[in-house]
Amino acid sequence: MQLQPFDRSRYLPTLAAFLLGTACSLHVTIASCDDASAKTSDATEVSEADVVEDGTAELSVAPLSHTIYPPERPGWIDETKARDGDNVQMVVTSGPCVSKSEADEMTKLYARASVQTYVDELIAKQQSTADPAMVPIAEDWIENELIVRRYEGKVLVGDETQHEKAVLLRIQPEHQKRFETAISNVQLQERLAATGIVILGGFGCLVGGSILLGGLASRQRQQTIAKA
């Protein structure tokens, strides 16, 4: 068998078509990559622009929880509960309120709660069994005797103007003695009440026993008469 000589001219058109198709495919792929990169870059720029715009918008509007106090607001309002010699001082604030009447009501409520807390601590210190709720605390007495400083002003919460009220309560030694006396009276009343319950219970048992014995005696007499 005789081999035919290799004729490269027969395969040149096929090779050229293959190379042309490969070049076209490569061009399309590169173009697609360029388009994707361009879209990604545009999206990144838009996103960054949105961030900048959003950041600017947030900074241009004051937060709703941001509170601005006036410069004339006294410094004693920020003081916590402390002792001034033999005196106990407590600062009570209403916080921002929509009206003066609401600020006044909140101040009264918080002032009474602060005095009640002081009474609770005093009872615990004395290891007393008195009920703290039984110790009388009158709002008028707090208003006229314990409050030594007052303040009313306006605060800016976000973009809204609200009202604030603050008072400084001072419990002096004579006030403490009054509370101690009231605690002792409550404890005495509780003991008398407990003693009265015991006495009343004993008296009830005594009366009940007498009635029962009287009934048994009467029944015994009736039985004796019937037998006779």
Copy the structure tokens of residue 55.
């950041």
Cα–Cα distances (Å) from 215 to 27, 152, 205, 208, 223, in that order, read: 123, 76, 15, 11, 12
Q: Which residue has the higher pLDDT, 85 or 151?
A: 151
Rounded distance between C-alpha atoms, residue 98 and residue 50, angstroms: 36
Q: Which two tokens stand for residue 136?
A: 């009388």
Sign of CA dihedral 41, 45, 51, 54: negative
* Pairwise pLDDT comparison (9 vs 121), residue with the higher score: 121
- Note the pTM of the prediction, 2 decimals: 0.58
- Answer yes or no: are the C-beta atoms of 111 and 121 closer than 8 Å: no
Neighbouring C-beta atoms of residue 108, cutoff 10 Å: 17
- Write down the residue that tokens 């293959």 correspond to: 18
Asked if 154 contacts 97 with a C-beta cutoff of 8 angstroms, the reply is no
Question: SS3 for 73?
Answer: coil
Q: pLDDT higher for 101 or 37?
A: 101
Please give the pLDDT value at position 129: 86
Task: Provide the residue type at 110 as one letter.
Answer: Y
Tens digits of per-residue pLDDT, 173-223? 999 999 999 999 998 887 787 665 655 566 566 666 667 666 666 777 776
- Tell me the sheet residues that pair with 92: 167
**CA atoms 196, 198, 201, 203: torsion sign:** negative
Note the pLDDT of residue 84. 74
What integer pLDDT is reported at residue 178 of this predicted model?
A: 93
Cβ 158 vs Cβ 65: under 8 Å: yes
Segment 157-166, tens digit of pLDDT: 998 999 999 9
pLDDT digits (tens, 9 = 90+) for 130-149: 888 899 999 999 999 999 99
Q: Is residue 82 within 8 Å of residue 165, measured between CB atoms?
A: no
